[in-house]
Structure 1
Amino acid sequence: MQIFKVGGAVRDRLLGKPVTDIDWVVVGATTEEMLAKGYRPVGADFPVFLHPKSGEEYALARTERKSGRGYGGFTFHASPEVTLEEDLIRRDLTINAMAEDDQQNLTDPYQGQRDLEARILRHVSPAFAEDPLRVLRVARFAARYAGLGFTVAPETLELMRQLSESGELEVLTAERSWKEISRALMEDQPQVFIQVLRDCGALKVLMPEVDALFGVPQPEAHHPEIDTGLHTLSVLEQSALHKQPLTVRWACLLHDLGKGLTPEEQWPRHIAHEHTGLKLIKAVNERFKAPKDCQELALLVGKYHTHSHRALELKASTLLELLQSFDVYRRPQRFEEFIAACEMDARGRKGLEQRSYPQAEYLRGAAKAAREVAVQPLLEKGFKGPELGEALKRERLKALKAYKENS
């Protein structure tokens, strides 16, 4: 029985990056031996066990064979006869197919270290094309390591293209897809994730609404980058540079979907794209079963982002309507995330990345003015029920008018 550290822990140590998760492979052992040593099994179908003290995962060396469609369409074979090399060959990328023993002696049958040094993301074997989830995983690794100069090997991109055209991506469950998408959006360069998906044809399958933005022009006066797809990538890039949370990054990705529906004869203008895009944002939200907070913010940013950009010109009544839509009295954080997404939208324009966004402070001030209207005096005047709501609205409108005059 031999135990090896495998996968990401080996890769990140060799890259000089902090190691967080550690995966272990056990060669030459049976399930009975693992149980006898106090390891606890995880699930019924998988030869994976939790260490009795550390709680880390230890998997028996195994081979796998394609037996159906999609991510789950595999049968596994684990036995003491399976070698370390046989276990490593079923992994996705060469940089994830290395192992080391407790003396840090490296086992690297598929030249993962060479590809690490060359900054290449390359598949281990043709079996890569059997698992559609790997398209998303490779794009995610590209986003994670783009800053170190990593690119996807052309032959791997070709396999990803074949997978994208095979219909296998449609078999992925919403939960598995969202797990990869959400992790990728939180990487250092999430725009690379979207670009790689587009390069291999997967974006057209998974998010046709986002793919449709590429090649759609916008007015150069407002958008020097012109192309709406490139603008979306830039907004996503800004959201990562400014360390925004997942909710904001998701909203940044989807905020301009309506522009993909504009008839060509109306280009480069996109009249009412905020409203036409809502059904598309809703469709993408539902397709991936995005968490409720991500869904809500994406729809609100899609609908109101141009309000934010024109905040200084808005009438007090429009400002009030905006604040009411966000329920800023009970959910101030959501409005703060809306402002952040709109600022990323403004910064995601070629040459304007450093331009200040005074609308942010103006909107925060408006929210503060509306929130400071006290309810107690209205209750003392006898207002209640719907009448109280209307009176509160009138007072908040007064407060916003005063705020506008003094700003």
Structure 2
Amino acid sequence: MTGHPAIAALKAPGLRRYLAGQLPSVACSWAQVVALSWVVVERDPEALGWLVAWQFAPSLLLGPWFGTLADRHDRKRLLILAETGLGLVALGYTLAAGAGVLDLPLIYLLAAAWGVINALDTPARRALVPMLAPAEAAAGASALSGTVMLVGMTAGSALGAVLVTTVGVTATFAANAASFLGDALLLATIRVGPSPRIRRAGGQIRDGLRHVWRTPALRAPLLALAVVATLGFTVQVSVPIFVRVSLSGGPALVGAAFTAVTVGSLVGALVATARGEPGPHALTRVAGLMAAALVLTAASTSVPIALVGLAGVGLAWSLFIAFVLAVLQRCEPAMTGRVMSLFAVVLLGGTAAGAPLTATLIALTGPRTALAVSAVATVGAVLLGLALRRPRRMALW
């Protein structure tokens, strides 16, 4: 197979169908993020941290087990099941908002349900994508999947701002429910080879943890990601509150701010795809870039400067994630599901732990200080990477 891996991967019909279903689903999901963020911020800004925690905390508890399931069972079927479940959660938001009963306790309950299902969705998805293209184009398939996700996030942030301000949050939730149904139906039409299943046996979760911990090239990026995900990249909490408190904006500006982050992330994904394998010190440099962008955002006194800073945060975060994944995907094929589940545990679990901390910090000191603290934490991740550097065995520091 010749040419760029991403171009080669697009020749696979299964991957094309997968991407066709993902784009509208991700876009509508991010429209829901805007709608739900605004609903919660209007009621209690500090509650936004707990919303994010309820959404992502299940990955801390269930992620490794679901990753093992992804290695034991058919990954396509698991993904269809997860997409259907996420659609039902969106339908729950729709019915509750339409009936006027969408209060904070119900929001937390639905957010927790979303978190449990998403803990299954993430490892199943990341383990399935490389199977949708020839082995030599698997890296291109993963890069394309990430790029399409970011395109959907960018479009969805803008779409959410439009929908919330024109037709309201109920219609926004309904659009998301419909998009998940369409994605599940499209996934069912994809032909894919049998998943590389492992037999059920005791200690498989421990084997995955042990494999990562004993492999420095996997362990160090995950530890750095834990720091950045927990205290550095906190935009789901900090951005809506920053927009409302510091910039005196409404839902349209919240959507614009999320769009700035996702546009930057999209550019980062395109750069990572074009670049291919990251070079030495890649994570150190992008973490430094993220810290600088966070400082710019915290110090901004106008909307355009704030949006530029947030775009820089998204750019650096996207590159950071791409470089971490580039290392993790080099693991043994039989460990893919478990390693990807640990990636989800660190990423989503870090978000769950950091969200209430960020919300509390904002309540005590204001959103600008919280963004500055995020910059300091990101620099701390750089120092962690340097402390864990092993020149002969690690490619990114």
TM range (shorter): under 0.3
- When normalised by structure 1's length, the TM-score is 0.26
Q: More helix per residue: 1 or 2?
A: 2
Per the normalisation by structure 2, the TM-score is 0.26
In terms of fraction of residues, the more strand-rich structure is 1
Q: Which has the larger radius of gyration?
A: 1
